[in-house]
Chain A
Amino acid sequence: MSSERVAVVGCGQTHHRKVRDDLSMAGLLREAAERALADAQMDWKDVDAVVIGKAPDPFEGIMMPEIYLADALGCAGKPIMRVHTAGSVGGSTAVVATHLVSSGVRERVLTIGFEKQSEGDTTWGLGGGRSGSVGAGGYFAPHMRAYIDRSGAPDYIGPAVAVKDRRNALKNPYAHLKLENLTIETVMESPYVWEPVRRLESCPTSDGAAAMVLTNEKGATEGAAWVHGTAIRSELGQFPGRDPVNPRGGRDCAADVYSQAGITDPFNEVDVAEIYVPFSWYEPMWLENLGFAAEGDGWKLVEKGVTDITGELPINVSGGVLSSNPIGASGMLRFLEVALQVRGLAGEHQIDGARTGVGHAYGGASQFFAMWVVRNEKP
């Protein structure tokens, strides 16, 4: 397949918070975009096209915000498009932006994922405005219970992930939750919200945005991250035989992206990964689904500290979705954070010598998956 090489030359994100009432929705996107453009040493006029993504519109109650955002994003006379894949959208949006460049259609693309949860109510939106909405946690809780039952994982594994990611977030100036001195005991003492998931094992609701500037080889700067593979998979939300604990779509997505990047042994060939973990138990579940651990063994990596920032396979060193969840940005932040890692620009949570990074997002009823592999060297 002849295609253009794609470089990540700019990364920017907002300071994610519970409420960013200092900014409008458009202002939130611009804060991230201007930081990405500054990082890329570009201006709005240098951008050929913009690709944005957010979670479903009922979450803020503003239908098709891309229409009103076009002006604020410098798109007068330029193409702008919106991607919709629920929670995985930040990842899928980055993949679509990558394809605009790799296909040769555009040379310099700005991509942004965002959510302003404070201006709406996600639980209300997920329930179609009716009583009885259980939110994403209520839908996923039986899947996590099934994982615990199947794997025989001890009950403190979920809380251990919650503690690890919040400790990592203390090193990330952009992260929303800053929970000092969190311990497994304090997490286990926090109330259940969607039993077996406790409040401190769940992601916060955040306002925030993430932005990246992607270019072809001609536009690439020194110290760019290079995209070595992108993949998207989806499957129906429910049919007999579908396994939400280890979904086929996620396995296929991982196999595809590894094959593009020439990865045959993900555990040993990947230096750092950011995977979509909105509820603690999804770390061991996705470690298995993405081929980092054999089925039933994901929790053992957590227990041994392998996924700690000092471990052999650091996972979510930015603090992850458990520490910041501006939904539409959450997937893109996973992609962006691994790009920062291979560029050596992650600051206090930098993994020394990171050369290969994997970004991952999932959404809907655990049915949409998006991934990319980035490296510090050209493909």
Chain B
Amino acid sequence: MSEPVRFVSQKVDLDYKVVTSPVARRFDEQMRAGRITGHKCPECGLVYVPPKGFCPIDCVITDESNEVEVRDAGTLTSFTVITPIQYQGQEEKEEYVLANILLDGASGTIGQQRVEGIPHSEVRMGMRVKAVWGGDPNEGSRGWGLTGAIKHWEPSGEPDEPKEKYQEHVL
């Protein structure tokens, strides 16, 4: 006896071109040159990484003249261990860690960053991490992600930061 057919999956191929904004393009170029950059708001002084091209708090436009470089190291403020859901096109098969990381010199975190080189059970909030450069430059980061240049993050070996340092930086 065969099961009745209830669903027929139909895959759709869609080729599209993403037009990268000038701010994202500049950020991407700098990443490929090994520099993580952000924009410092001239009003409030907050440093946005990646740059948005504006400060949403003060509603002012920012550009290259507001560019600052931040360190390729920071503090892990929160994380999750993902068990990848196997949907059509999912290439992830094994559990992996995704973390929010507050880079030294940035005012907010970068989200969903892969952390490797440490057993998952030992990953912790407040842990110091550094970038491992050398990602696939052709990987589609669409100019906003860090994956084009940075493979992942790993523990830096520095002492953990105390709670007060990371608690207000979930995002």
C-alpha spacing A243/B77, complex, angstroms: 12
Interface size bracket, B side: 35 or more
Provide the B66-91 mask, 1 if CB < 8 A to any CB of A, else 0: 00000000000111111111011111
**Assuming A134-B98, A149-B125, A191-B83, is B170 touching A142 (CB within 8 A)?**
yes
Contact B6 A238 (CB under 8 A): no
> B-side binding surface: helix, strand, loop or mixed?
loop
Q: Which residues of B contact A146 (CB under 8 A)?
A: 77-78, 125, 167, 170
Q: Which residues of A contact B171 (CB under 8 A)?
A: 238-240, 242-244
In the complex, whether A347 has a CB less than 8 A from a CB of chain B is: no
Contact A236 B56 (CB under 8 A): yes
Of the candidate stretches B24-32, B105-113, B128-136, B154-162, the one touching chain A is: B105-113
Q: Give the A-B pair count, Cβ closer than 8 A.
A: 111
Contact B78 A121 (CB under 8 A): no
Q: Which residues of B contact A150 (CB under 8 A)?
A: 167
C-alpha spacing A21/B6, complex, angstroms: 8
Q: From A150, which residue of chain B is reached at the shortest CB distance?
A: B167
Which residues of chain A from 333 to 347 have any CB-CB distance to chain B below 8 Å in the complex? none
Cβ distance A228 to chain B, nearest Cβ, rounded Å = 33
Cβ distance A189 to chain B, nearest Cβ, rounded Å = 15
Q: Which residues of B contact A (CB under 8 A)?
A: 6-7, 12, 14, 46-48, 56-57, 77-85, 87-92, 98-100, 107-108, 111-112, 120, 125, 140, 163, 167-171
Q: Which residues of A contact B (CB under 8 A)?
A: 19, 21, 61, 118-119, 121, 123-124, 129-135, 138-139, 141-143, 145-146, 149-150, 191-197, 236, 238-245
Q: What are 26 sample pairs from A and B whose C-beta atoms fall under 8 A apart?
A: A21-B6, A118-B7, A119-B7, A121-B87, A124-B90, A129-B14, A131-B91, A131-B92, A132-B90, A132-B91, A132-B92, A142-B99, A145-B125, A146-B167, A149-B78, A194-B80, A194-B81, A194-B82, A195-B80, A196-B80, A238-B111, A239-B48, A240-B46, A240-B47, A242-B108, A243-B170
